[in-house]
């Protein structure tokens, strides 16, 4: 059979057209991505005042304990330079041990706040990232871009991050979630960095709020299935291999305990049956191979509690964007997975009730009865239409699945930003940029304007002198001023002639 380059090119073009169709017909669960979390921790000297008790350490250990196996993660610290605190790699027991041992190395020894270098270090593999992972960066700082003694150099570095680095990361799908840990932090810069990279900006008024913000950042990177808690009680089904109870509380830690379905009590001092981690303002307890049935929890009054589970039967969703503009509708893909298999049998799916609850600013609330509105899909994948949100702000979406003995919840967060056309209409004065950026920029603009004016004035003066010389020459020769090169040019007035 004759072979030609044209035939080869036609074959390649056909293959390029067919491949997308093949990918759409594949198992929809194959689109789920594993999380890749890259943490950047500020260790500049100002942290002595912003975080005097060094609560960054316990907050980091909490994240280390909550990261799921199979994820990827790394931790960098930065001041004047950037250091690798925990090497970027796959999360397993060995990685966790290294990370927990490294927590003690967090200090306040940095001299500056080199945010650009920290972002560069965290994206060392930007051109060769593993497509099976969804990468995100969490940046914690109490300051502003400070790379040198020169305010001009700092302003230039900050502008470059916002105009080049952040948009590139956003276009690549790597959001930067920023956390400001003091009122001295450059909130305008951090908020712009998050927005331009499609991340979310948070402000911690006190260091003890840091752990909660870290957990919310982790939920955006790696949403974990939860079970609902009612009056201190929660239900564990026989598909659950492990559950973790996370408590946030104010004040001193009081006696906390878990009561199993058989009546036995699990406390922090009997670590054989559970793994307890108690720190300032929060506690974490993990139970492996738990008894199925109803569990109860004794906790401090007012504690904020969530119970996450690792189980064969789980909710799986396509990742949503961390932020989107107001007025834009979107779609959420949701599946039920039993181990490595997506449930698609109508008889099985029909046993579960699936809902999606959405809450947001100004008391916004909407509940979508997914299993009733959409019916049972042949592929096992529900495609849920998310309404266009009119108001800017933080929205929470919670997918819920309930059966006879099984209950699951999966929380997600989306930041909705104001439409640019509407954001210019405001009854309050516009927020001024940070002075460290505006003063050098205004000074530079004034210098450029002055130089431009001087150059224009000198050029105009020379032009008038040349015109006066031409006029004098023609008068001396008794000729008319009709040189073609002078068409449309008026002679200079007498007082502009050279003296």
Q: What pLDDT score was predicted for residue 423?
A: 35
Bridge partners (DSSP) listed for residue 476: none
- What does the angle CA 94 – CA 338 – CA 27 come to, to the nearest 5 degrees? 95
Q: What pLDDT score was predicted for residue 302?
A: 85
pTM, two decimals, is 0.71
- Compute CA 464 distance to the chain's CA centroid, rounded to the nearest angstrom: 60
> Sign of dihedral through CA atoms 286, 289, 290, 293?
positive
Confidence band (pLDDT; 50, 70, 90) for 213? confident
Range of weakest confidence among 175-179, 373-377, 430-434: 430-434
Cα separation of 432 and 181, whole Å?
20
Give exposure, 248-269, as e/b (b: 16+ Cβ within 10 Å): bbeeebeebbbbbeeeeebebe
pLDDT more than 90, % of the chain: 45
Cα separation of 487 and 235, whole Å?
94
Q: Rounded mean pLDDT of the chain?
A: 80
Q: What pLDDT score was predicted for residue 386?
A: 92
Q: What pLDDT score was predicted for residue 145?
A: 95
Residue pair 8/106 in contact by the 8 Å Cβ criterion: no
Confidence band (pLDDT; 50, 70, 90) for 5? very low
Bridge partners (DSSP) listed for residue 77: 41, 83
Tokens of 168: 């590139």
Q: What pLDDT score was predicted for residue 445?
A: 54
The helix (run of H) or strand (run of E) holding residue 23 is helix 5-25
Tokens of 241: 């291999």
Residue 487 has pLDDT above 60, yes or no: no
Nearest alpha carbon to residue 56 among 232, 233, 220, 179: 179
Range of weakest confidence among 166-170, 269-273, 453-457: 453-457
Confidence band (pLDDT; 50, 70, 90) for 218? confident
Residue pair 285/274 in contact by the 8 Å Cβ criterion: yes
Tokens of 227: 């079970």
User: Mean pLDDT highest for which of 2-16, 156-170, 461-475?
Assistant: 156-170
316-364 pLDDT per residue, tens:
888 678 888 899 988 999 999 888 899 999 988 989 999 999 999 999 9
Q: What pLDDT score was predicted for residue 18?
A: 29
Range of weakest confidence among 116-125, 140-149, 265-274, 379-388: 265-274
Residue pair 398/356 in contact by the 8 Å Cβ criterion: yes
Cα separation of 160 and 169, whole Å?
13
Q: Are strands 72-78 and 82-90 parallel, antiparallel or unpaired?
A: antiparallel
3-state helix, strand, coil in the chain (%, to 5): 35, 30, 35
Query: Measured in Å, how far apart are the chain's first and last C-alpha atoms?
Result: 92
Residue 14 has pLDDT above 50, yes or no: no
Q: What pLDDT score was predicted for residue 273?
A: 77
The 8-class DSSP code of residue 149 comes to: S
Report, as an integer, the average pLDDT of 174-198: 92
Residue 262 has pLDDT above 80, yes or no: yes
In order of 16, 19, 23, 297, 475, the CA distances from 10 in angstroms are: 10, 14, 21, 66, 79
């Amino acid at each position: 059979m004759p072979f030609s380059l044209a035939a080869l090119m036609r074959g390649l073009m056909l293959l390029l057209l067919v491949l997308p169709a093949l990918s759409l017909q594949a198992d929809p669960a194959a689109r789920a991505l594993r999380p890749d979390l890259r943490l950047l921790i500020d260790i500049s000297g100002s942290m002595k005042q912003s975080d005097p008790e060094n609560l960054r350490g316990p907050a980091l250990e909490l994240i280390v304990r909550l990261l799921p196996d199979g994820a990827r993660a790394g931790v960098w610290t930065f001041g004047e330079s950037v250091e690798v605190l925990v090497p970027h790699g796959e999360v397993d027991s060995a990685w966790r041990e290294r990370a927990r041992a490294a927590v003690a190395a967090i200090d306040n020894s940095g001299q500056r706040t080199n945010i650009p270098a920290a972002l560069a270090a965290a994206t060392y593999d930007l051109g060769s990232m593993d497509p099976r992972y969804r990468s995100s960066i969490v940046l914690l700082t109490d300051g502003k871009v400070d790379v040198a003694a020169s305010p001009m150099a700092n302003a230039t570095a900050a502008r470059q991050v916002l105009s080049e680095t952040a948009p590139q990361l956003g276009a690549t799908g790597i959001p930067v979630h920023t956390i400001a840990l003091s009122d001295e932090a450059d909130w305008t810069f951090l908020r712009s960095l998050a927005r331009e990279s499609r991340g979310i900006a948070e402000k911690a008024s006190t260091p003890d709020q840091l752990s909660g913000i870290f957990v919310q950042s982790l939920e955006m990177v790696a949403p974990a299935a939860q079970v609902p808690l009612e009056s201190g009680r929660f239900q564990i089904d026989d598909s659950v291999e492990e559950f973790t109870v996370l408590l946030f509380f104010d004040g001193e830690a009081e006696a906390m305990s878990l009561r199993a379905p058989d009546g036995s009590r699990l406390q922090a001092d009997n670590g054989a049956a559970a793994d307890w981690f108690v720190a300032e303002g929060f506690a974490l307890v993990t139970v492996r191979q738990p008894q199925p049935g109803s569990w109860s929890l004794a906790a401090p009054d007012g504690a904020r509690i969530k119970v996450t589970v690792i189980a064969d039967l789980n909710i799986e969703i396509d990742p949503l964007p961390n932020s989107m503009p107001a007025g834009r509708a979107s779609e959420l893909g949701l599946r039920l997975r039993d181990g490595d298999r997506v449930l698609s049998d109508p008889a099985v799916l029909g046993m579960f009730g699936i809902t999606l609850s959405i809450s947001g600013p100004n008391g916004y609330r909407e509940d979508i009865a997914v299993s009733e509105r959409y019916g049972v899909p042949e592929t096992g994948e529900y495609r849920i239409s998310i309404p266009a949100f009119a108001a800017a702000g933080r929205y929470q979406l919670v997918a819920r699945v309930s059966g006879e003995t099984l209950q699951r919840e999966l929380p997600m967060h989306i930041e909705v930003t104001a439409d640019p056309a509407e954001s210019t209409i405001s009854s309050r004065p516009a927020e001024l940029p940070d002075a460290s950026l505006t003063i050098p920029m205004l000074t530079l603009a004034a210098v450029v304007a002055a130089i431009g004016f001087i150059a224009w004035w000198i050029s105009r003066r020379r032009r008038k002198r040349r015109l006066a010389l031409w006029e004098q020459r023609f008068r001396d020769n008794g000729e008319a001023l009709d040189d073609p090169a002078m068409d449309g040019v008026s002679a200079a007035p007498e007082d502009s002639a050279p003296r």
